A and B are shown apart, each in its own frame.
Chain A
Amino acid sequence: MHTLDQGGLMSNHLMSFLAETNWDIIIVGCGNAGVCAAITAAEYDCKILIMDSAPREMRGGNTRHTRNLRAVHDSPTDVMTDHYSFEEYLDDLMRVTKGITNEHLAEVALRGSELLPAWLSKRGVRFQPALTGTLDLGRTNAFFLGGGRSMLNSLCRHAESIGVTFIYDAEATNIALVDGFCEDIEVKWQGTNHRLSCKQLITASGGFEADLDWLSEGWGAAAKNFLVRGTPYNKGVVLRTLLDCGVQSVGALDQCHAVAIDARAPQYDGGISSRVDAVPFAVVLNKNAERFYDEGEDFWPKRYAIWGRLVASQPDQIAYAIIDADGLDRFMPSVFTPIIDNTIEGLAGQLGLDPTIVRQTIDVFNAACPKKPIDQTILDGNTTTGLGIEKTNWASPLVKPPFYGYPLRPGITFTYMGVAVNDRAQVLMQDGMPAANLFAAGEIMAGNVLGQGYLAGVGMTIGGVFGCIAGAEAARALNR
């Protein structure tokens, strides 16, 4: 096996090169935050190694699943319409987090967001022109041309061109953190463990959403029914190591971005296309065929992020969205074809629900609906009357066959519990003192800003801004 031997030899050479080099900075995780840090530090002439536990095609954690970032701007730009002030952004963040945020760090992230789109453009990232389409985020969010993976490809290419070294399939398994000083890092690569030394370490290794056992520490047995919409590579190994070494944690264990996704989606990595947008035009039942929340509370872009938790709190963490023929074309198509039947009872049977009770629930719902047609472009106030849980907009009886059903599960994209940092992206120890040479950026520290709730595109803002800060601060610590 001549070629295999050669391959082995080559990787041995590579590994000894990596192990013998005294890196200025090692960065764990090559998502948005990690690569922003790498580029910033490389621009200060630092010798940088960035590693990702995924293979190259799946690199960059959840960046692959993102599409845009939310940014402050005073006047229309080529990528965002109108204006979005710092104050409005902060208000939005305060509203969704209900104040569970480190206001100072939130300010740092939001102020920094103003420069982010131009900074990225200059380094090869292409944006789409301001969108006015489906999500209606064209005012507040800048959309990457081709989405997050495309954006990351451009950034990584730029980083490579200015001398950053990348390795893939390399999992950071342990960090030797003694008295707040990181001495070296243990990396599992091609089946063996290696020790790499560096002067500064930046952890941009994401959350722990792919570790269902860890999720169950926050969620209990319910976690076994969760689907992970995000990357399967975020197992929180680095996060666990840091917490074990006395790093201060931030955020509650059960806080995460979770939406209701199609129950037929894969266990991991379903991403955007696994979502189901039928809810506002549906009657949503739990496994006992009861409704449990107002499906028409607000426009879907303002509500989709709460439905993951809603479904998670139902028995067996499953729900069913049922619509009739009139509802089908009112929302974005989803990846899984709905389950279809000509009768409510037949559909209930196919979904594994009790047909008699479903019939009864739908009949009661239908009777409570107003007699006028709905208008989905506005909050039409078409509300049911006399129900225990009303549907306050777009209530319309399910009468026109065929009937369609989507099974729903909670789908977790990313977790919020992480490491505490200061405004220099330095990781804080339990005594509140910053670690000497350890920084964090991205999802692993997003919980400092996003304590609960969700705001589209804020994760990329936090990752980008704190990535740049971590890179600059690590370089500064080296007197660059």
Chain B
Amino acid sequence: MPLTDKTATTTTGFNLKSLLDPEAADEVIRIMQICNACRFCEGFCAVFPAMERRRDFDEHDVGYLANLCHSCGACYHSCQYAPPHEFGVNVPQALSAARIDSYAAYAWPTFLADLFRRNGTVVTLGISAGFAVTVGLMLAMISPQLFWNVHLGEGAFYQIMPHTVMAGIPMAISALVMVIFVMGWHRYWTHTGAVWGGMSALLDAVKASLTLRHLGGDTASSEFSGPGCPTADDRASNARRIYHQLTMYGFLLCFSATSAGTIYHYGFGFQAPYGYFDLPVLLGTVGGIVLCIGTGGLFAEKRRLNTAVRHESGLGMDYAFIISLFLVSFSGLLLLALRETSFMGLTLAVHLGLVYGFFLILPYSKFVHGLYRFAALIANAGEAHHEKANQLRESQ
């Protein structure tokens, strides 16, 4: 007898176009119906309390729950219904399959959704394309002598490539990326039926992101004291959480370095390269090093993850994103080291190529996990708040 028969129990029905792969969504629905009758895992993370607020599940809930889950595996190792049990419950794997599918489902424009399904290749192609364009442009614009020369002092970089081009390309890319992000967010938000929970929900989501609270392995522990999540076996560790945050903070530092550079350039009229202790270089150096450590550790942790928990088809995307982030930051550090040598031109070309390529494919890379997870966190905080308010009202 089937475990789920949505048509029988859903009385309201929904007319929204179906976006998710039915096979991935159905497996999540099947499993959630088992979990919701058990609830032993409710203390691990936000997924289970969110599940308990529902009685029936449809693909909209799947899109939401999938993006709330970190696939840490704490519930898998604790599950009385995990394989070889005939119920075959594997929450992290089912949700990660649905999550990977949701990246494609929410992608805009929709015809680019396929990019997600061939992601490893896409990253390589994107980076190489960016790379080629940059180098090509440079060589077209300058003479080889200039390219291999040593350039020192203000405006040294712009001997190789004029500032308007160097900054103009990413600005154009950024504008495009922002539009794509807004559309993706919109698609996620309407599809999952998320409800805006007010500023307090936003604040809570920010806090959860800054601390990666839900990888702590225990919702009752404080932001920093959780046992963490399982790695190769059922032993808990905070390693993945720490490396992820190093990656995130490293990325934010590098991003703020670029912003600081922009302010220096347009606000104060200072031309790059800046001194080692100038803000843009300081932020970029620290950020770059942190990012290298973070991505390196994250890569190792991904590889160490229990094979029963991880979802193989999504790993290509994960690895590609981690590696390209590493290359971007590493080439930036290399440029800093070599900027006063005759290799500056080449290193600059490589670094810019990698950066442009990275940003160009940003909306079709693993980067979007942050977008949808943040949206899910806001929705979750709002839901939790409403629930608490309702309980309070009932008890009075």
Which positions in A face B, CB cutoff 8 Å? 55, 57-58, 64-65, 67, 126, 128-129, 134, 143, 145-150, 153, 157, 264, 266, 269, 271-275, 329, 332-338, 340
Contact = CB atoms under 8 A, between A and B. Distances in A.
A146 B75 contact: yes
A269 B78 contact: no
Nearest to A335: B37
Closest 8 CB pairs of A and B: A147-B40, A146-B78, A150-B78, A273-B37, A335-B37, A128-B43, A273-B38, A129-B220
A432 B73 CA distance: 49
Contacts of B5: 337
Contacts of B4: 337
Given A146-B78, A273-B35, 19 more contacts: A58-B84, A126-B218, A126-B227, A128-B43, A145-B44, A146-B41, A146-B44, A147-B40, A147-B80, A149-B77, A153-B77, A157-B234, A264-B1, A271-B80, A273-B34, A275-B37, A333-B37, A334-B37, A337-B8
A149 B78 contact: yes
Interface in B65-124: 74-75, 77-86
B43 A145 contact: yes
Nearest to A129: B220
18 contacts: A126-B227, A128-B42, A143-B43, A146-B41, A146-B74, A148-B40, A149-B77, A153-B234, A157-B234, A157-B235, A273-B37, A274-B37, A275-B37, A335-B3, A336-B1, A336-B3, A337-B2, A337-B4
A332 B8 contact: no
Contacts, number: 91
A332 B1 CA distance: 20
Contacts of A57: 82-84
**Residue in A65, A67, A147, A266 with the greatest tally of chain B CB atoms within 10 Å:** A147
Contact of B41 (A64, A147, A269): A147
Nearest to B83: A57
B56 to A, nearest CB: 8
Nearest to B9: A337
A150 B5 CA distance: 31
Secondary structure class of chain B's binding surface, majority of residues: loop
A67 B36 CA distance: 15
A275 B36 CA distance: 12
Contact of B38 (A129, A145, A269, A271): A271
B213 to A, nearest CB: 16
Contact of B37 (A153, A332, A340): A332
Interface of B: 1-5, 8-9, 33-44, 55, 74-75, 77-86, 218, 220, 227, 234-235
A55 B84 contact: yes
Contacts of B85: 58, 269
B375 to A, nearest CB: 26
Contacts of B220: 128-129, 145
Contacts of A134: 39
Contacts of A275: 37
Contacts of A266: 86
A401 to B, nearest CB: 11
Given A149-B80, A271-B38, A273-B37, A340 B9 contact: yes
A337 B81 CA distance: 18
Contacts of A336: 1, 3
B33 A335 contact: yes
A147 B1 CA distance: 27
Nearest to A78: B220
A55 B82 CA distance: 13
Contacts of B39: 134, 332
A153 B78 contact: yes
Contact of A335 (B34, B55, B77, B80): B34
Q: Name the residue among B44, B80, B84 with the largest chain A CB count within 10 angstroms.
A: B80
B3 A272 contact: no
A328 to B, nearest CB: 8
A334 B3 CA distance: 10
B9 to A, nearest CB: 6
A57 B76 CA distance: 11
A64 B80 contact: yes
Contacts of A157: 234-235
A149 B135 CA distance: 57
Contacts of B86: 266, 269
Nearest to A334: B37
A67 B79 CA distance: 11
A340 B8 contact: yes
B84 A337 contact: no
A126, A143, A264: which has the most chain B beta carbons within 10 Å? A126
